[in-house]
Structure 1
Amino acid sequence: MTWHAQPHIDWVLTEGRYMPDINAMFQALGTRLHEGGAPLQRVRFAMRTVHPLVTAISTIWDADPDNIVAVQTAHGMEQRSGYIGSPLATIRTTQEPLRLRLDGPLDTDAHRVLHEMKAQGIVEYFGLPITFAHAPMGGVVAYGTAHPKGFTDHDIAQMTRLADALAPVIESYAQHYKATAIAKSYLGPRTGQRVLDGQITRGDIETIEAAILFSDIRGWTALNATEPPDQVLDIANRYFEVMSDAIDNNGGEILKFLGDGVLALFPSDGSPDGKVEACRQAISAAHAALGIAALAELQVPFGTGIHYGALLYGNVGARERLDFTVLGQSVNIASRVEAFCGRLNEPVLISDPVARIAGLPTRRVSTEVLKGLDTPMDLHAPTAM
């Protein structure tokens, strides 16, 4: 049965490109190729990407459902034996197609990936680079067959045509993946999605209600004066990791890292139950941060202040340089509450409104006049949850 790439190219350009992600598209494409008579046992696509945790993504379709997998590879891939000298590494380095027969004896120094494919019944491997228009490197698509005679010249020509047609569609997926990763890494999942959805005009601001959490390291100035810069940076990153884990795990979102501090939001829908949930989430995050810091042996003290109220949430800045941020008196109060953590020697302080809304056991620590407010406010320390 002679197969042709054109029907599959038509599908990619008319239907496949609407699949939710690269993995879904390749799984559907692999099945179509297999059912359409292409002598394929495996199809793999891999590409580098921009992500704080992931350096490459890969998806594998296999005629054996047990071997279908999607993989995200952490940074440092280039130094690992699984990549060095592999077919993927060779194709990325040379930017040339690579065709290998695997049915004969393999050299003892052949990469272990080739031995693994041979053990899975792959008779011939054919991989080639995918070139992107707007990126220095694209990706690699690789085909494997278990047909006893391997690939024919017709197969190679059709797979090459298919790879060329895939390039612009894959690049679109790649750019979306990169944009999403960057937006969510620098702005957080909720705020990043708002930017991706088009909320990028200066003055595009809405009023929301939220529990606002401020936290920062105590003694930061002295730490910078007495410790080497690389050690200070390590401490800051460990502290940020502690706060990120605690906030993310309790339904919040870090909006900004502020030098040695963190600004986070726990949004509310403004309903009575929504207010309670937001305040309790913020308090839970503050307690969790202390526990995580102890387990991580983070040796620097930090304070956390929490307030609840309405705030402005959106874009401010110059015409061509914007920042997605929060503004308003509630934000200022949260910052002022946190500032009293050091003075009152409390790791966590919450404003009186938060204490009343959350309805949790607290200890009134002090009554203070916060900068910008005319009347004193009770500050509370929540008891352990």
Structure 2
Amino acid sequence: MADSREAKKPRFSSVEELTNWMIDGARPSADAREIVSGICEGLVGLDVAIDRFMLFIYTLHPNLLGTRFRWIRGEAVDVGHAKIGQFSQEEYTANPLPHVVEDQVTIRRHLERADCPEDYIIVGELREQGFTDYIALPLIFTTGETHACTWSSAQAGGFSEREIEILKTINAPLARLTETYMLRLNAAVLLSTYVGRNSGTLIRDGKVHRGDGEEITAVILFVDLKNFTRLSNEIAGPELVGLLNDTFDHLVPSVTRRGGEVLKFMGDGFFAIFPYADEAGLADMAAAAMDAASEGAEALLKDALGDTVSFRAAIHCGTFHYGNIGGADRLDFTAIGPPVNYTARLLSAATGLGCDMVASSDIASRVPGRCAKAGTADLKGFSGEQTIWRF
């Protein structure tokens, strides 16, 4: 690796000043990339010969094992994600990080030395890239939970003892910064995962009291599985949960790809919205909701799962309230309003009309040529016979 060290005006005049900045929360940096860059560039300014930094954190995420931040001298901070199941057991154990995390130990490999152990794959990889020294440190949180970071140098002779001491000195404040970031990240991910992106944002912004919420104008999509009662009587609990998860894996992505959001899962179905701001947006989102339902049905038919599972869908639109209701200290974000009720009644009427996918007149009128009249039905709570359309 070429040594491209350029003389820069130091950001910090001492290691103490750098650590104080980190202890103070690395203000005013708000982005994790900025913080990582600030720390690394700060060390370079203090004549610490770092050329590569990696921060590894295990995240609470339904699909990801963890997140990796990578800084390389002269480059922008890069962020990568490891999916659950991405690594084989061999790949995992051939990496020093599991040992650093599980045993809370520091691992150093002086890559230039003839006696450097070749016990990890990364030893040879870093040497081929021109690095001369490598140290992995545990980041121990206040709870005892442990993550890890690594520092690499391309300097001849590797890290000096002074540089190693500096890296160890900043390790504790780095752990605190990482823990704070992790708390925010996990809170955002878990809120989004369990209550939805929109609801999660409201909660994070302080909408945590009964009655808090907002008015939403959106196309509404209700989906539920057909014959679920029979299936639940025939299939054991864990197998049934797996079937539901596999089914939603076919249906939910088609919603989110088109700008929709699942607000709530309801046993064997879900309630999704496609927000819009004006008449043109309503037409676009009505088409998007129909496309999402149709694509989900096609995806199931192409899979063996389609031999067991099918679903009904109903689409309507309007403005409704989405907010906090509950008792004492147990709350839930729930959609309330006539458009929500109407969509639920449409879904119930679909069975009587022998239709799997139905829409209201308000939706059908916005997507000319895509709907055909399925019939009329009395919808509980709404006066007069209602025209129902299939798509």
Aligned residue for 2:3? Answer: none
- Looking at structure 1, the residues matched to 303 and 168 of structure 2 have their Cα atoms a distance apart, in angstroms, of 51
Deviation at 1:275, TM superposition (A): 2.6
* 1:286 counterpart (293, 311, 317): 293
Whether the 8 Å CA contact 2:297–2:310 is kept in 1: the answer is no
Q: Provide the secondary structure at the position in 2 that maps to 1:232.
A: helix
Q: How does the TM-score come out when normalised to structure 2?
A: 0.89
Aligned residue for 2:113? Answer: 104
- Looking at structure 1, the residues matched to 246 and 55 of structure 2 have their Cα atoms a distance apart, in angstroms, of 35
- Looking at structure 1, the residues matched to 362 and 115 of structure 2 have their Cα atoms a distance apart, in angstroms, of 72
Once the two structures are superposed, residues 314-337 of structure 1 have per-residue CA deviations (whole angstroms, 9 ceiling, x without a partner) of 111112111111012211111111
Matching residue's letter, 1:39: A
- Looking at structure 2, the residues matched to 294 and 17 of structure 1 have their Cα atoms a distance apart, in angstroms, of 53
Aligned residue for 1:54? Answer: 64
Q: Provide the secondary structure at the position in 2 that maps to 1:277.
A: helix
Change (3 A) 1:222 1:129: same
- 1:166 correspondence with 2:136: no
- 1:157 correspondence with 2:165: yes
- Looking at structure 1, the residues matched to 50 and 329 of structure 2 have their Cα atoms a distance apart, in angstroms, of 50
The unaligned stretches of length 5 or more in structure 2 are 1-6
Aligned residue for 1:258? Answer: 266
- Looking at structure 1, the residues matched to 15 and 126 of structure 2 have their Cα atoms a distance apart, in angstroms, of 24
- Looking at structure 2, the residues matched to 348 and 250 of structure 1 have their Cα atoms a distance apart, in angstroms, of 18
- 1:29 correspondence with 2:39: yes
- Looking at structure 1, the residues matched to 288 and 92 of structure 2 have their Cα atoms a distance apart, in angstroms, of 43
The correspondence of residues 179-258 of structure 1 with structure 2, limited to 5 A, is 179-258=187-266
Deviation at 1:147, TM superposition (A): 1.9
Deviation at 1:99, TM superposition (A): 2.1
Which shows bigger deviation, 137-146 or 226-235? 226-235
Identity %: 25
Matching residue's letter, 1:33: L
Change (3 A) 1:295 1:16: farther
- Looking at structure 2, the residues matched to 298 and 119 of structure 1 have their Cα atoms a distance apart, in angstroms, of 48
Deviation at 1:73, TM superposition (A): 1.1
Once the two structures are superposed, residues 63-92 of structure 1 have per-residue CA deviations (whole angstroms, 9 ceiling, x without a partner) of 2649x6422112236753232142211111
Q: Provide the secondary structure at the position in 1 that maps to 2:50.
A: coil
Matching residue's letter, 2:281: G
Aligned residue for 1:89? Answer: 98
Once the two structures are superposed, residues 223-282 of structure 1 have per-residue CA deviations (whole angstroms, 9 ceiling, x without a partner) of 12223434322221122112211110111110111110111111223x322332332222
- Looking at structure 1, the residues matched to 355 and 122 of structure 2 have their Cα atoms a distance apart, in angstroms, of 56
Whether the 8 Å CA contact 1:45–1:142 is kept in 2: the answer is yes
Matching residue's letter, 1:156: I
* 1:137 counterpart (127, 142, 145): 145
Q: How does the TM-score come out when normalised to structure 1?
A: 0.90
Once the two structures are superposed, residues 5-30 of structure 1 have per-residue CA deviations (whole angstroms, 9 ceiling, x without a partner) of 23433444568444343233213432
Change (3 A) 1:15 1:221: closer
Matching residue's letter, 1:31: E
Aligned residue for 1:368? Answer: 377
Q: Provide the secondary structure at the position in 2 that maps to 1:57.
A: strand
Deviation at 1:105, TM superposition (A): 4.0
Matching residue's letter, 2:288: Q
- Looking at structure 1, the residues matched to 136 and 72 of structure 2 have their Cα atoms a distance apart, in angstroms, of 15
Whether the 8 Å CA contact 1:77–1:83 is kept in 2: the answer is no
Whether the 8 Å CA contact 2:102–2:146 is kept in 1: the answer is no
Deviation at 1:136, TM superposition (A): 3.7
- Looking at structure 1, the residues matched to 28 and 253 of structure 2 have their Cα atoms a distance apart, in angstroms, of 34
- Looking at structure 2, the residues matched to 17 and 242 of structure 1 have their Cα atoms a distance apart, in angstroms, of 43
Matching residue's letter, 1:282: A
Whether the 8 Å CA contact 1:17–1:169 is kept in 2: the answer is no
The unaligned stretches of length 5 or more in structure 1 are none
Aligned residue for 2:332? Answer: 323
